[in-house]
Every structure is written in structure tokens, then in C-alpha cells.
Amino acid sequence: MLRYARRYAGLSQRALAARVGVPQPAVARIERGQISPRVDTLDRLLAGAGMTLQLAPRTGEGVDRTLIRASLARTPEQRVAAASRAGNNLAAFLAETRRGRRS
């Protein structure tokens, strides 16, 4: 992440280190994964490269898998029929949306 941010900003390790007051060898070790920086250090380094550290949900985390399991419990024919109904519902919704814009 740090290497990407630094390169995206067009900075060398030395320039980034000087910008935020961190020794260049520390930047190199962080980028190589030899050390894990404290959050405040990583935040400072990313800010020096014009980026921010943000929290985001992990892909697949928080997904309600009950609908997936229910779908897999159906036969292939039932799944195709459900997909067809969903497609028809979407088409009807889009048609109504287009009609609403013309009014």
C-alpha cells in the first residue's frame, strides 16, 4: 500500500521520508514487509504521498449467505425460473422508470 501511494505520488523513498520525517531505511523496510508500522506512522507516510488511510469492509464480510444457501437448495430448473422472473421484474421496473421521466 505504501509503495503504491509513494509511486503514485511520483516520490522516491528518500523524498517521502524527508517529507514526513521518517528515516528512508524505515520506509524501505515497511515497503518490503519486514516491519509493520504503527497506524499513526503509516497514516503520516500515506499523507506525505497525498493519500489517506480509510476503513472499509472486507470483500465478502457481512454478506447474508442465507439467500445463497436457499438458491443452492433449489433445483437448476427452479433457479432458471426464478432468474426469469427476476429479469421480467427488472424489465417492468425499468419501463416504469422511463415512463416516469417522460411525465
Q: What is the DSSP string of 10-22?
A: T--HHHHHHHHT-
Are 44 and 12 part of one and the same domain?
yes
pLDDT at 63 over 90: no
Domain total for the chain? Answer: 2
**pLDDT for res 102:** 60
Please state the rounded mean pLDDT for residues 32-44: 95
**pLDDT for res 101:** 67
Residue 56 lies in a domain: no
What's the alpha-carbon Rg for the chain, to the nearest Å? 25
Cβ contact 11:2 at 8 Å: no
**pLDDT for res 64:** 79
The pTM assigned to this predicted structure is 0.56
Residue 50: strand, helix, or coil: coil
Model confidence at 93, pLDDT cuts 50, 70, 90, reads very high
Are 34 and 6 part of one and the same domain?
yes
Please state the rounded mean pLDDT for residues 86-99: 93
Residue 54 lies in a domain: no
Host domain of residue 75: 66-102
